[in-house]
Amino acid sequence: MSNKFFQPDRSKYPSMKDDGTLDVDLSSQKYTKIWLGPNHPGVTGNMAVEMTLGGDEIVQAKTHVGYLHRGFEKLIERRLFVQGFPTSIRMCVAEPDTNEYLIARSTEELSGLTDRVPEMAEWLRTLALEMARLQGLLRGVPGQAGTYSLGIGVQWGVYLRDLILDRFEELTGARVYHMYIIPGGVRGLLPSGFKRRMEDNLTDIDDFIVRIRKLIFHNSVFKSRAVGSAVIPKEWIDKFGIVGTNARASGVKRDVRKDNPYLKYSELDFDPPTATDGDVYSRTWVRWQELVQTVDLIRQIMAKMPEKGDIRGDMPNALHWKIPKGETYVKLESGRGEYGMYYVTDGSSKPRRVNLRGPSYTHAIAVLEKMLINTNIADVHATMVSLQTCPPEIER
Amino acid sequence: MKSLIERVSTKYNLQEVVQQRDNLVFAYVDKELAIDMVTYMRDYEGYAHFTLMSCVDWIEDGKFQLLYLLNNPETKTEFGIKVAIDRDNAVMQSAHHLWEQIWTYQRELKEAFGIDFPGSPRVDEDFVVEGWDDMPHMRRDFDTNKYAEETYFMREGRKSYDPATYMREKLYPKQPVTAKKNKDEQ
């Protein structure tokens, strides 16, 4: 809607209706319809945007999802509680650990066993979630620069992300899908020397943070294209259900870690960064500050967590576990915003219903479709990446 | 939360109120009053953030349970408004005029459960499963295994194993295996 590349002479463009859509007559042959995706380097994940163009401006946009649909929620309904874990983590590749925590916490809460999770496990869960956020930001922050052809930052970020995946591998045995957080706690303690190796990686990331700041925020191309582009006005936040960094970049300070503290976040010292302009530049700036903050949080966690302790409380036999009838909604703050799970049980050994609430559900459809109207076609990728859209969490 | 529950209970005759946590409440409301209550909660009780719209299929009761989950950013609390609707007449008043993202949820619920929301924008457009012509895939009576067996075929020369049988054979090779073998092994 708000775009500085907006052509000042509107006489040749369709007029806007009261509902914010444009009055487009496709039979007039003045418009071109093209598809962006589902496979395209500028698209986050496999998602397509059906665009109708008037000149080089978008006059209509429709998001199409379904290219990744594997029926995860349905499959989980037909499996034992513990069998839901390997399926659930694939609902969001960007930060799979978030799904582990949600499903573990839901089953613990509905069984009335939340107090059995040992303190050490709570710290390790917090560490795993922050490591997941860090590896996501190491892709996301330079990825935004990549949409404006500043590709070198992406290469730096991917290298450093791999180092964090190395730490995940030694902690959990796996690089991407960890299944580390399980009902009752976690699967293992920190390996010997883990903290030292993590500190080495964080030192490298400190250096990257300085370099990526110069690459992005001191760059005239990035500034001239990102400032004032794809603005989310403050009044859109509740109207569209916008969350996370997208909301904070528009001046609305919401963060589940602060608003409804879970795990050990109430014992950590941090203040979620915000901005006011709500454009691509602000969202990238907020994410860059989150990168700095996440590194600090991991250091705080490693300093405050005990050296030893139980990592898993007594839980029912996973093969014979039945949970009484009930329902809950558990949420956390992922790198993209509020990430929640509605979990319903019926007294049997399998969940009755599992419904994931990912931030992209609104960001990639209602918000993106509205935002792209009157946007220049060259800015579509940057807009989409700046919203951190993740299609798997839409189609589950 | 207690005073809020009492206040809203009187006004909307809430049933089966469950306070799941200090900051989370679920309650049933009559179908005819549901959208009115959602509007009231948004405009008068500060539940300005719409978190989730979902559905549970209670096939044994012949009901769908719709959920409108609202969040109050000031009090940091959540209120889940539940509505029971007949499976045989799965129609619900649309709430798309209240929040901009609700039409997406309603479009998904139409496709996944077959619940209609007359007047909701693009409610009949395919959402996740384009070209789907079977029963709505999230209903409890949709059998995913049967659908897969009828729709797809096993590639020639490919074997699949029942995980329990396979592991038993690996771990205890001397014990006789009594579990049923797969079709292609029979």
Q: Which residues contact B47 (CB under 8 A, 6 or more apart)?
A: B41, B70, B71, B72, B79
Domain range for B28 is: 2-181
pLDDT digits (tens, 9 = 90+) for A14-39: 777 766 667 777 777 788 888 887 87
Number of compact structural domains in chain B: 1
Tell me whether residue B38 is in a domain.
yes
Tell me whether residue B186 is in a domain.
no
The residue of chain A nearest to residue B60, with distances taken between CA atoms, is A346
Tell me whether residue A65 is in a domain.
no
Tell me whether residue A378 is in a domain.
no
User: Which positions 321-350 of A are in contact with B (Cβ < 8 Å)?
Assistant: 326-329, 338, 340, 342, 344
- Strand order in B49-58's β-sheet? B15-21, B24-28, B77-86, B63-72, B49-58
Distance from C-alpha of A121 to C-alpha of A152, rounded to nearest angstrom: 38
Task: Look at the alpha carbons of A169, A174, A178, A182 in this order and tell me if their dihedral is positive or negative.
Answer: negative
Residue B45 near chain A (CB below 8 Å): no
The complex scores an ipTM of: 0.89
Which chain A residues contact residue B128 at CB under 8 A? Answer: 65-66, 69, 394-395
pLDDT digits (tens, 9 = 90+) for A278-337: 999 999 999 999 999 999 999 999 999 998 899 999 999 888 899 999 999 999 999 889
Distance from C-alpha of B7 to C-alpha of A153, rounded to nearest angstrom: 55
Residue B23 near chain A (CB below 8 Å): yes
The residue of chain A nearest to residue B82, with distances taken between CA atoms, is A327
User: Which positions 25-64 of A are in contact with B (Cβ < 8 Å)?
Assistant: 64
Q: Nearest by CB to B54, which of A326, A342, A366? A: A342
CA distance B44 to chain A (A): 15
Tell me whether residue B98 is in a domain.
yes
Residue A300's pLDDT is 96
User: pLDDT higher for A377 or B164?
Assistant: A377
Which chain B residues contact residue A240 at CB under 8 A? Answer: 99-101
User: Which positions 142-161 of B are in contact with A (Cβ < 8 Å)?
Assistant: 142, 144-145
Q: Average pLDDT in the A324-352 region?
A: 94
pLDDT digits (tens, 9 = 90+) for A101-115: 999 999 999 999 988
Closest Cα to residue B126, out of B139, B110, B115, B138? B110
Residue A157 near chain B (CB below 8 Å): no
Tell me whether residue A20 is in a domain.
no
Tell me whether residue B48 is in a domain.
yes
Q: Average pLDDT in the B88-110 region?
A: 93
The domain spanning residue A170 has which CATH number? 1.10.645.10
Residue B136 near chain A (CB below 8 Å): no
The domain spanning residue B7 has which CATH number? 3.30.460.80
Which chain B residues contact residue A367 at CB under 8 A? Answer: 100-101
**Is residue A312 within 8 Å of residue A188, measured between CB atoms?**
no
Tell me whether residue A180 is in a domain.
yes
Name which of B52, B70, B132, B140 to mutate to probe chain A: the one with the most chain A Cβ atoms within 10 A of its Cβ: B52
User: Which positions 89-108 of B are in contact with A (Cβ < 8 Å)?
Assistant: 99-101, 103-104
Cis peptide bond N-terminal to A38, omega within 30: yes
Across the interface, whether the CB atoms of A240 and B54 are under 8 A apart is answered no
Pairing of strands A57-64, B63-72: unpaired
Residue A1's pLDDT is 45
Tell me whether residue A360 is in a domain.
no
Tell me whether residue A377 is in a domain.
no
Tell me whether residue A183 is in a domain.
yes
Number of compact structural domains in chain A: 1
The residue of chain A nearest to residue B79, with distances taken between CA atoms, is A329
B185 pLDDT band, cuts 50/70/90, is very low
Domain range for A137 is: 84-321
Across the interface, whether the CB atoms of A329 and B69 are under 8 A apart is answered yes
